[in-house]
Amino acid sequence: MFGIPDKTMSYKIKCGQFLFIVTVAYSIFLLQSCNNKASTKDAAFKKVEKQSTASPVIPLKMYNELTYHVDSIKDKTSLALYDSMYTSEEKDIIAALNRIDKNRIGVGKKIILPDTFYHQLLEYAPFPFKLEIADSIDKLIIVSIRTQAFGIYEYGKLIRWGPVSTGRKAKPTPAKLYYTNYKARLKISTVNEEWEMPWYFNIDNMNGIGLHQFTLPGYPASHSCVRMYEADAYWIYHWAKQWVLSGDVLISHGTPVIIYSSYDFDLLSPWKRLAEDHLIMRLTTAELEEIHAQIMKIR
């Protein structure tokens, strides 16, 4: 700046003022444009969010009208057709309905399929969406041996369900009231040291019965434990409460777990009969009474 004539300086100042005004005006324009775009984006997001959360809940009447059919995967061509026909989410639903791991669906397999696919597995639950007799219990797990499924309730409202594999014929899981006791990220089986049980939650300390992730073959196959998908075992591991001990004294129980009914090994599994009787998985009056009797014992 030193040595520049005053005239030139005055000219540069005027130019600088003009450029400053133009810059400010352009900045205001950009800011308004960005705000408009943000508002449009927020509105679009809210619209999509509204659409994505509006549909899942089915009225009870419609829920009871779900129908199914049986299909067979006869050869590799049929398997390729199956792989191309269904999305990953639909295959998850199919596997859960058949009480098996998804990778067990292959050549030679007969599977039950829903006639209509909905957004969430919850809509195919073999449990009532509302369990009035449990509406005062903050957290409750029920396990049906007959239908090989678990249900999660919060104040009587079903929030999650999934398939299980309970005790095999020679080692059935006793039907009674349990509580979630202690948990372990990974527990090694005392029956066979090669068996690893991720996301283990003990429910019977004396007999070593627990909820945990392990393979699901489509029938009761465990040594009394309740096997689950990894996602379900992981979820319960973080959701259920542990017992509270003071030394060897029990201060408070964990989350109640009601295991009920029985499995008839001489009959075709009930989920395999959904095509002929779409209500076969529903709670029977006797099962509801069994659950009610156990709820009355919860402390």
Same domain, 256 and 194: yes
Q: Are residues 24 and 68 in the same domain?
A: no
- Per the structure, the complete domain to which residue 239 belongs is given by 127-295
Q: How many residues does this entry show for the chain?
A: 299
Tokens of 247: 């030394």
> Considering its fold, how many domains does the chain have in total?
3
Residues of the chain with pLDDT under 70: 1-64
Does one domain contain both 28 and 85? no
pLDDT at 198: 97
CA distance 239 to 159: 12
Cα 136 to Cα 189: distance, rounded to the nearest angstrom: 36
In a domain, 199, yes or no: yes
Q: Which residues contact 283 (CB under 8 A, 6 or more apart)?
A: 126, 127, 128, 144, 291
Q: What is the pLDDT of residues 225-274, one digit of tens each?
A: 999 999 999 999 999 999 999 999 999 999 999 999 999 999 999 999 99
CA 89/CA 102 separation, integer angstroms: 11
Both tokens assigned to 116? 């209509």
Q: Give the list of residues 6+ apart from residue 142 with CB closer than 8 angstroms, or none.
A: 127, 150, 151, 153, 257, 258, 259, 260, 291
Q: So what's the pLDDT on residue 195?
A: 84
Tens-digit pLDDT profile for residues 141-167: 999 999 999 999 999 999 999 999 999
Q: How many CB atoms lie within 10 A of CB 35?
A: 10
pTM value > 0.85:
no
Q: Which residues contact 14 (CB under 8 A, 6 or more apart)?
A: none
Residues 218, 148: one domain?
yes
Please tell me the predicted confidence (pLDDT) of residue 63.
53
Within this chain, do residues 68 and 194 fall inside the same structural domain, yes or no? no
